[in-house]
């Protein structure tokens, strides 16, 4: 029987539960080259484009907020920019497939005209095409909304996860709605999503980063949950839950990794040291999964962990 969330737990309690399981997995840093002295982080999981694995990553100078999203392919153990691939003035890329179409997106950021370091707003933008080289824009989310993610359901409809900010007394909540076709992905549809009210405490926040189809029409959600301590020190953890799109209920959130499971390395700023941003999950037939992440807003890593959705699928 699927146990649904009745009340959100504090992230520190979720962390204690996760650490009590004594996770002993170790991540590894992905090596990127061909971008000068800029960092590559907040990557998506590899996807197949024109027959080869491709990773989209956020490319950014350590002392700046403006970034580009570039597409990388692996050559002799290093990820290098793909020849001829488009470059987008975006942050935090993501990909999914709807039918035969590749859907790509990222966060478009707007800066103050007088201060290039001051962000005035942002929104999620979407592109579609049958390959990376053929991507064209087709939709935009509402202002100040990140973490909008799509999934093609087995009934042919498209699930849409959203993340409105400062709603009903909460810093951010995840929402869900469904559309019939990609042409129906409008700001109005996104803003009308039903809110999942029991995943986060009001002073914490999170979002969906990727959605996976599971048995019986359920959806496995890979996301992040975050809280902030004094002096704006941020703590981000990769998490998962299972979502029932028929009754719009969720299982409790479970953490799947922490910063300590990855090699030591630099952070963009001191307040971002304990930040792991879920990029994507590749599930394997041996019961494990590879989690691709951004680390401390400065690097990209991957870690092999037990498949976090396998327990649910075996239980069904």
Q: Where are the beta strands (DSSP E) in 165-218?
A: 165-167, 170-172, 174-179, 194-196, 205-213
Please give the pLDDT value at position 73: 98
Q: Mean pLDDT, to the nearest integer, of 246-257?
A: 95
Query: Above 60 in pLDDT, residue 1?
Result: no
Q: What does pTM read for this prediction?
A: 0.95
Please give the pLDDT value at position 112: 81
Task: Residue 210: count other Cβ atoms within 10 Å of its Cβ.
Answer: 22
Please give the pLDDT value at position 114: 76
Binning pLDDT at 50, 70 and 90, where does residue 115 land?
A: confident
Q: What is the pLDDT of residues 135-171, one digit of tens each?
A: 999 999 999 999 999 999 999 999 999 999 998 888 9
Please give the pLDDT value at position 313: 83
Q: What is the mean pLDDT of the chain?
A: 95
Q: Among 1.20.1070.10, 2.60.40.1930, 2.115.10.20, 3.40.980.10, what is the CATH number of 11-315?
A: 2.115.10.20
Q: Do residues 293 and 275 touch, judged by C-beta distance below 8 A? A: no
Binning pLDDT at 50, 70 and 90, where does residue 175 land?
A: very high
Q: What is the pLDDT of residues 72-112, one digit of tens each?
A: 999 999 999 999 999 999 999 999 999 999 999 999 999 98
Q: What is the DSSP string of 97-135?
A: EETTEEEEEEEEEEE-SS-TT-EEEEEEEEEEESSGGG-
Q: Mean pLDDT, to the nearest integer, of 259-273?
A: 97
| Direct distance between the N- and C-terminal alpha carbons of the chain, in angstroms, rounded to an integer | 8
d(CA 10, CA 201): 7
Q: Do residues 240 and 256 touch, judged by C-beta distance below 8 A? A: yes
Binning pLDDT at 50, 70 and 90, where does residue 7 land?
A: confident
Please give the pLDDT value at position 316: 55
Name the helix (H) or strand (E) containing 79: strand 78-81
Residue 57, classed as helix, strand or coil, is strand
Please give the pLDDT value at position 311: 86
Encode 210-267 in three state secondary structure. EEEECHHHCEEEEEEEEEEEHHHEEEEEEEEEEEECCCCEECCCEECCCHHHCCCCCC
Query: Above 80 in pLDDT, residue 204?
Result: yes
Please choose, from the candidates 262, 260, 196, the residue with its C-alpha nearest in 3D space to the C-alpha of residue 223: 196
Q: What is the pLDDT of residues 23-67, one digit of tens each?
A: 889 999 999 999 999 999 999 999 999 999 999 999 999 998 899
Please choose, from the candidates 72, 68, 20, the residue with its C-alpha nearest in 3D space to the C-alpha of residue 292: 72
For 10-41, letters b (16+ CB in 10 Å) and e give ebeebbeebeeeebeeebeebebeebeebbbb
Task: Residue 1: count other Cβ atoms within 10 Å of its Cβ.
Answer: 4
């Amino acid at each position: 029987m699927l146990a649904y969330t009745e009340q959100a737990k504090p992230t520190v309690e979720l962390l204690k539960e996760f650490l009590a399981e004594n996770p002993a997995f170790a991540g590894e840093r992905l090596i990127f080259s061909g971008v000068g002295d800029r960092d590559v982080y907040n990557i998506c999981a590899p996807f197949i484009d024109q027959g080869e694995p491709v990773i989209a990553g956020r490319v950014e100078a350590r002392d700046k907020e403006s970034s580009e999203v570039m597409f990388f392919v692996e050559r002799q153990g290093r990820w290098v920019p793909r020849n001829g691939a488009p470059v987008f003035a975006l942050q935090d890329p993501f990909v999914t497939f709807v039918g035969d179409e590749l859907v790509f997106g990222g966060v478009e950021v707007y800066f103050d005209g007088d201060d290039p370091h001051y962000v005035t707003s942002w929104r999620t933008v979407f592109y579609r095409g049958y390959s990376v080289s053929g991507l064209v824009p087709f939709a935009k989310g509402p202002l100040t909304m990140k973490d909008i993610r799509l999934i093609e359901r087995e009934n042919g409809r498209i699930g849409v996860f959203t993340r409105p900010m400062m709603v009903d007394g909460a810093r951010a909540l995840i929402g869900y709605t469904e559309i019939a076709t990609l042409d129906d992905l409008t700001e109005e549809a996104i803003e009308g999503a039903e809110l999942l009210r029991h995943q986060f405490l009001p002073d914490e926040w999170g979002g969906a980063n990727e959605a996976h189809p599971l048995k019986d029409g359920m959806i496995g959600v890979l996301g992040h949950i975050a809280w902030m301590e004094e002096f704006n020190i941020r703590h981000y953890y990769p998490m998962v839950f299972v979502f029932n799109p028929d009754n719009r209920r969720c299982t409790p959130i479970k953490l799947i990794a922490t910063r300590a499971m990855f090699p030591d390395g630099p952070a963009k700023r001191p307040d971002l040291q304990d930040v792991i941003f879920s990029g994507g999950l590749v599930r394997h037939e041996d019961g494990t999964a590879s989690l691709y992440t951004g680390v401390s807003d400065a690097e990209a890593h991957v870690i092999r962990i037990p498949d976090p959705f396998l327990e649910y699928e075996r239980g069904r």
